[in-house]
Amino acid sequence: MSKIEKSQKVLGLKYPIVSLSPMDGITDSPFRQIIKKYGNPDIIFTEFTHVQGLLMAPWNTLKHFYYEEVERPVIAQIYGQDPELFYHATKIVIALGFDGVDINMGCPAKKVRAAGSGAALIRTPDIAREIIFQVKRGVNDWVKDGKLTGMSNKAMKTVEANVTIFRNRLKKMNIEVDNNSNFKGRQNLIGKCIEIPVSVKTRIGYDEPVTESWIKNLEKESPEWISIHGRTLKQMYGGGADWDELKKAVEITDIPIMTNGDVKEFSDIKKMLDHTGSIGVLVGRASFGNPWVFNKDYENMEISQEEKIRVMIEHAELFDQLNDSEEKAFVQMRKHFGWYMKGFDRAKELRSKLVRVRSLSDLKESLKEFS
Ligand SMILES: Cc1cc2nc3c(=O)[nH]c(=O)nc-3n(C[C@H](O)[C@H](O)[C@H](O)COP(=O)(O)O)c2cc1C
């Protein structure tokens, strides 16, 4: 199968596919909306969300899965260790109207790997395969009967109540809502729905690269595509991503492969595609404070300080709206301010102000003399 044909297996997209990588604590809906508007990558992923948390469905968890129509195609990433929970959680993902479900087999964080989740699954290949199997079964069963399962009645009511919260929020923002469907997505919460693709995002190994055996293992369950970050778990985010291992992954399987790791600027996207032969590239950290990095015209673009400040405020406004102007939550925006400000005149002076802002009005006040 050619690269072009393989790329079309990914949501019918054209080669090459450029995607925003999932990032916990970063790729929430406000960030994704900004990325979509100024960079317009082909696909975006949510932050990873635990299957167990999803089944209990408190607002704080479901908030990770809030999205706007403009973000489509948007893919929900889930993680965990218990295959059965993946089966049930997958149905919630579809009920919420996502375009795809992605399984995290790459997170190296201590808490995640100690529970046997994320990249720790590289050491338990049988469980990894069982998880893919159960996610696919969840998709198939949902298509047959559209029923949520594996939740207490109370949790199911919570999901429904949260869907109502989503609807009301959308209404508050003057977005038209169809009361018979969740969010305003295409799938009814308790009705039939279309099949969505199941993908995996992983790394090249645990403490050393085992690319070939690991990819061959995943291949047995035929995920629609696999995204691979060219580092082992042990490397965390340090050292260099090994693009030769990524090339190897592409060569040994017919499953479409998306590659990831160390794309630092727009020109690296082409370099990675040429080096690895993959059908697409995921961009992570290079997007911090720089949604333009995905833009085809990026190399010729001069983004002024005024423009960056304007986008920073727009981002903060979206965040404030989603979080009901909660000051405790707003603090999470400070890291973004630091990233947008890179290279600013008087950056030091401004940074010292922005590390203290607690609200949108604080932010606007601090920026007044800089724009
Ligand atoms: C702060 C942070 C959070 C991340 N969270 C996730 C996550 O939730 N799910 C995931 O699959 N990868 C996660 N990653 C990994 C990235 O998606 C990506 O694989 C990695 O950063 C390498 O790509 P880059 O060099 O383009 O940043 C995270 C990375 C960072 C820096």
Residue closest by Cα to atom 19 of ligand 1: 229
pLDDT of residue 340: 96
pLDDT of residue 242: 98
Mean pLDDT of the chain: 90
Same domain as 107, residue 191: yes
The CA distance from 181 to 152, in Å, is: 22
Residue 227: CB within 6 Å of ligand 1?
Answer: no
pLDDT of residue 144: 81
The burial of 79, by beta-carbon neighbours within 10 Å (0-12 exposed, 13-18 middle, 19 or more buried), is given as buried
Instruction: List the domain range (segments joined by +) for residue 58.
Output: 3-298
Residue 284: CB within 6 Å of ligand 1?
Answer: yes
Does residue 211 surpass a pLDDT of 50?
Answer: yes
- The tokens describing 369, both together, are 């003399």
Same domain as 239, residue 251: yes
Residue 242: CB within 6 Å of ligand 1?
Answer: no
Place of tokens 């190399």: 299
Same domain as 194, residue 320: no
Question: Looking at this protein, which amino acid is placed at residue 161?
Answer: A
The CA distance from 145 to 69, in Å, is: 25
Is residue 44 helix, strand or coil? strand
Measured CA distances, 332 to 78, 231, 329, 336 (Å):
22, 27, 6, 8
pLDDT of residue 192: 43
pLDDT of residue 168: 61
User: pLDDT exceeding 90 applies to what percent of the chain?
Assistant: 71
- B/e letters for 103-121, b = 16+ CB within 10 Å, e = fewer, are bbbbbbeeebbebebbbbb
The burial of 140, by beta-carbon neighbours within 10 Å (0-12 exposed, 13-18 middle, 19 or more buried), is given as exposed
Residues facing 209 on adjacent strands? 205
Domain boundary among the residues 298, 320, 352 is at 298
Residue 230: CB within 6 Å of ligand 1?
Answer: no
Residue 21: CB within 6 Å of ligand 1?
Answer: yes
The CA distance from 344 to 10, in Å, is: 39
Confidence of residue 151 (pLDDT cuts 50, 70, 90): confident
pLDDT of residue 245: 98
Does residue 276 surpass a pLDDT of 70?
Answer: yes
Residue 19: CB within 6 Å of ligand 1?
Answer: no
Same domain as 267, residue 212: yes
Confidence of residue 297 (pLDDT cuts 50, 70, 90): confident
Same domain as 281, residue 321: no
239-258 pLDDT, tens digit each: 999 999 999 999 999 999 99
Give the CATH number of the domain where residue 58 resides: 3.20.20.70
Same domain as 311, residue 266: no
Domain boundary among the residues 245, 271, 298 is at 298
Same domain as 89, residue 69: yes
Phi, psi of 189 (to 5 degrees): -60, -35
CA of 48 to the centre of ligand 1 (A): 10
Same domain as 341, residue 262: no
Domain boundary among the residues 298, 331, 353 is at 298
The burial of 317, by beta-carbon neighbours within 10 Å (0-12 exposed, 13-18 middle, 19 or more buried), is given as middle
Contact (Cβ atoms closer than 8 angstroms) between residue 207 and residue 233: yes
Confidence of residue 190 (pLDDT cuts 50, 70, 90): very low
Residue closest by Cα to atom 3 of ligand 1: 23
Same domain as 333, residue 192: no
Pocket test for ligand 1, best of 18, 19, 21 (most atoms within 8 A of CB): 21
CA of 237 to the centre of ligand 1 (A): 8
Residue closest by Cα to atom 10 of ligand 1: 22
Residue 22: CB within 6 Å of ligand 1?
Answer: yes
pLDDT of residue 205: 98
Same domain as 330, residue 247: no
Same domain as 292, residue 161: yes
Sign of CA dihedral 57, 63, 67, 73: negative
102-113 pLDDT, tens digit each: 999 999 999 999
Number of domains into which the chain is organized = 2
Confidence of residue 176 (pLDDT cuts 50, 70, 90): low
Same domain as 351, residue 242: no
